[in-house]
Chains A and B, each alone.
Chain A
């Protein structure tokens, strides 16, 4: 598989999805009155 045909879409999608999931985590934790990062 070529770099252009597979690796680039994979890297781009991975960044987008990771950002998306982190955003989801942040929103859901905020809705519960918490932050994503724990401050002891």
Chain B
């Protein structure tokens, strides 16, 4: 650890330096804005976009924004569950939790500097390539940008004290003080995210300005625009799932490179907890996404149709494949993890049935409605829709499929939790029967809503029926966990859990989870931004740059894939830094005695 500190202090200096530059930049722009009367949004021409030979402005901003967002999502999410894990450790007085929380936060320290660097690159590239847009946005959001930069200082201070003070602030009142610091860190981090979300959602659903883009002077109105809260909710949940998946990949990396059984056991336990966090946030995530999409439709039918019925619809097929991958890899990890308990054999016979249902739901989930076909294929098929599979391409089928996938993932998790327990209550058979009845009735209800309202009613009913479907899923999960806690009250153990007894291939499921999440966020982020089409700020400020067109899906997917590779390379660097920070070299005879 001692060897790592100067490096981390240098990182802190880099972060502080970037923060200072940002404050200076925002102060200058806000100062200019304060003295200018609020004018309409500028009408730009191609000449208003400076260019640097050999650099595509849009791709540069795109990649820097994406890299910044991935790192920001990671460093904002990890302190949330670090705080919870630390609190669990304090409550249970189990030091393993405290050590795990410390190791999680250690990984974020290097990532924090990279977040700041990417943020700096994003701001400078925006100022350089899109100066009029940046000036217009800073005219409206000058105050919040200024406080954002100041909050960044507070975030850095809280993070560094939280991390470096970890071993100093231990026990009694000091531990409470440390937890409070963690709480402040999270409060500041979340506020930063909310402010940044306001700027991007303003570009999609502008508020606080008139039709010509003239700012009313009410910055809160501009912040509290129509899509602000839907994005806030979606990002908050998604960040936690993402943070869990990245630290899960870290644990997998450490597991695979571990040299002792003790080390493997520790990182197996860490990987399990990371996967648990990712799954807990993954389960409500489709609902948050659905809410965001519904609000986009509600704000602008045109944006909504472009989103899922227009050019971007095919990216949703890739999204479906990636989400299916997330569910399959999370389940696979749980199934492999059941091997830690000798009691798991009672449940392994059910895994194949869960796998069959998950794969069937996965296939429905990514079945396209309209196929991309040649003229010959169209003729042979009799139209763009497949006669049998075509009906599976509409949303009611997909809503039904995703609810079933979520429920069977919850079932996998229930088997995992039960694997090492022996119920002692007298009514265990009745309890199990009630569990089976709960899932049977719930799934029947989801199918009924999906089939009847999806295929035998009109569009209003189709959309409306998705809400009781979601509620059914949530009721089943909540009721099932509650019922299981009663069935297993005072339960005995089959034996000690054998941490570390998990095949290496399970660790690759954790890697897959992290990569699929990253790629998914990149693609969906592109869609969210791309539905503005030729507008910087929808209906207010037109994009007149040479890149004011929607690129082909292949091109967009390539840009996102390159960014994903860059990000994963930097994440491997972060893991490596965390790894070498624990290494000590004692060169014999090098130092004077």
CB under 8 Å from chain B, chain A span 10-40: 10-14, 16-18, 20-22, 24-25, 28-29, 32, 34, 38, 40
Interface residues in A, total, Cβ within 8 A: 25
Q: Specify the chain B residue showing the minimal Cβ separation from A14.
A: B437
Given A14-B440, A38-B457, answer yes or no on A21-B445 (Cβ-Cβ < 8 Å). yes
CB under 8 Å from chain A, chain B span 437-462: 437-438, 440-442, 444-445, 449, 452-453, 456-458, 460-461
Interface residues in B, total, Cβ within 8 A: 28
What total count of A-B pairs have CB within 8 Å? Answer: 75
Alpha-carbon separation in the docked complex, A20 to B434 (Å): 14
Q: Is B59 located at the chain interface by the 8 A CB criterion?
A: no
Alpha-carbon separation in the docked complex, A11 to B440 (Å): 11
**Complex interface: stretch among B381-389, B425-433, B559-567:** B425-433
The smallest C-beta distance from B346 to any residue of chain A, in angstroms, reads 14
Given A6-B429, A28-B471, answer yes or no on A13-B437 (Cβ-Cβ < 8 Å). yes
* B433 CB contact (under 8 Å) in A10, A18, A29: A10
Residue from B433, B442, B456, B460 whose CB has the most chain A CB atoms within 10 Å: B433
Main secondary structure of the interface of A (DSSP, over half): helix
Q: Specify the chain B residue showing the minimal Cβ separation from A18.
A: B441
A29–B468 CB distance below 8 A: yes
CB under 8 Å from chain A, chain B span 393-442: 429-430, 432-434, 436-438, 440-442
Q: Is B373 located at the chain interface by the 8 A CB criterion?
A: no
The smallest C-beta distance from B82 to any residue of chain A, in angstroms, reads 37
What would 9 A/B residue contacts be, using CB atoms closer than 8 Å?
A5-B430, A14-B440, A16-B437, A17-B438, A21-B475, A24-B471, A28-B464, A28-B467, A28-B471
> A residues engaging B (CB < 8 A)?
1-2, 5-7, 9-14, 16-18, 20-22, 24-25, 28-29, 32, 34, 38, 40
Known: A18-B441, A38-B456. 13 other contacts (CB 8 A): A5-B430, A6-B430, A9-B433, A10-B434, A10-B437, A13-B437, A13-B441, A14-B441, A24-B475, A25-B445, A29-B464, A32-B464, A40-B458
